[in-house]
Amino acid sequence: MKRTIVELMRPNVAKMQGYKSARHEYQGSANILLDANENPFDWDYNRYPDPHHFRLKRELWKTLGWDMAKISLGNGSDELIDLLIRAFCEPGKDAIRVLNPSYGMYKVTAELNNVEVIKTDLDEDFQLDPTLAFIPSTPPAVKINKEKIFFLTSPNNPTGNAFHQSLLEDIISRYDGIVVVDEAYVDFSSRGSLYTLIDKYPNLVILRTMSKAFGAAGLRIGIALADGLITNVLHKIKPPYNLSTIVQEQAITQLGNYTKILTQSHLTMADRDRLAADLRSLFCVERVFPSDANFLLIKTNAADEIYDFLRKKGIIVRNRSSDHGCFQCLRFTVGTPVENKALLTALNEYDDLNS
C-alpha cells in the first residue's frame, strides 16, 4: 500500500497552524485599515500585498484555464521546491529522488535542509530506464521508506528532452511518495502538460514558472499545481507575503500579453530547430541532442576551449561538462535571430582556426 499524503507529510508540519497575517484575517475593502501597522499615508505600496494572490490566480485561470483552487504561487519555482521539501522531508531522516543529470536546485535545497539525495542516472541518450527498476514493485514498509519526493523534470535541464507522458504517468501511479513534474520548459515542447492528471493522482505536483516562455524571470513567479492537501500545506507554510504587490501587478500585465508570448515561443522553437541543424554542420560539434526546450545541449570536441573562445567574444554559454553523461557538453539558450547568428559566426571562426 502506498502512503497517503498525510502520512507522507512531516508530522510537525501536518499539526502546526500557519501564521495568520492581518490580510489573511480581513480581505475585504474598508475605509479605515488599522489592522496591519502600516504607514497610513497613502501611496501605491503602503499596504501589504495580497497573501492569497487572488487577482493573479484569477488571471492564470482566465489565461490558461487552471483551477484557482489548485494553484500555489512562490517566489520562483525555487521557493516552491524548498517549501515542498520542508513540507514532506524530515531533516536527517528522509530523502528525495532526482534525475541525474537534472536541474541543480533540487539537490542544493535538499542538502540545505539536511535531506538525502538519491539519484536516478539517465542513459547515454538521457532516457529513463523504461522498466522503472528504481521503483520497488511493492512499496517498502512505511517505517523504512525514507524517500518522500521524486523530482522529475520534463523537458529536462540540461539535457532538453521531454519524457513520454505514459512513462511519467506510470511513475506517478507507482511511486510511493510525492511526484513533482517540473514543466518549466513545457511551453517549448510538442509533448503537452500533465496538468489534467492532477485530478487522478493526489500525489502529483506540476511545477510551472513565469521565468521561461512567459518572459518574466525578473519577477520571480513559480507556480505549483496540485490537488487538495498539497495545495493546503503549501499555503500554510509559505511566507505570508511572498509575492510583492508590484510583482503580482506586473505578472497580471504580462499575462495580458499571452498572444505575444505564444508567438515568441513558436519563434524560439523554429529558431531552435534551425540552430540545431546549423550546429550539426560544424566540425567542433559532435552531437546535438534533441531538444523540447528553449536551449540546446551539444557535445563538442573541446568544451573548455570553446567556452573560453566564446567568452572572449562576449558570448556566455553554460559548460555542463562535469554533469553526469555530459562530458564535453555545452548548453546554449536559443537567443534572438541576431544572437544565434553571432553564436554560429563565432563557432565557424573557431572551426576555421582549429580544423
Ligand X SMILES: Cc1ncc(COP(=O)(O)O)c(C=O)c1O
Which residues contact ligand X (rule: CB under 6 A)?
76-78, 103, 153, 157, 182, 184, 209, 211, 217, 222
**Phi and psi of 180, rounded to 5°?**
-100, 110
> Cβ neighbours of residue 31 under 8 Å, at least 6 residues apart?
none
| 109 vs 340, beta carbon nearer ligand X | 109
Output the smallest distance, CB 42 to ligand X, in A.
33
| 217 vs 267, beta carbon nearer ligand X | 217
Output the smallest distance, CB 43 to ligand X, in A.
29
| 9 vs 184, beta carbon nearer ligand X | 184
How far apart are alpha carbons 62 and 263 in whole angstroms? 19
| 153 vs 268, beta carbon nearer ligand X | 153
Output the smallest distance, CB 320 to ligand X, in A.
12
Find the residue with minimal CB distance to ligand X. Answer: 76
Per the listing, cell 505578472 goes with 251
How far apart are alpha carbons 94 and 274 in whole angstroms? 45
Q: How far is CA 124 from its chain centroid? A: 23
Output the smallest distance, CB 163 to ligand X, in A.
13
Distances (CA, A) of 120 to 124, 147, 175: 13, 13, 13
3-state secondary structure of 119: strand
Q: How far is CA 204 from its chain centroid? A: 14
Output the smallest distance, CB 313 to ligand X, in A.
24
| 182 vs 292, beta carbon nearer ligand X | 182
CB 142 within 8 A of CB 89: no
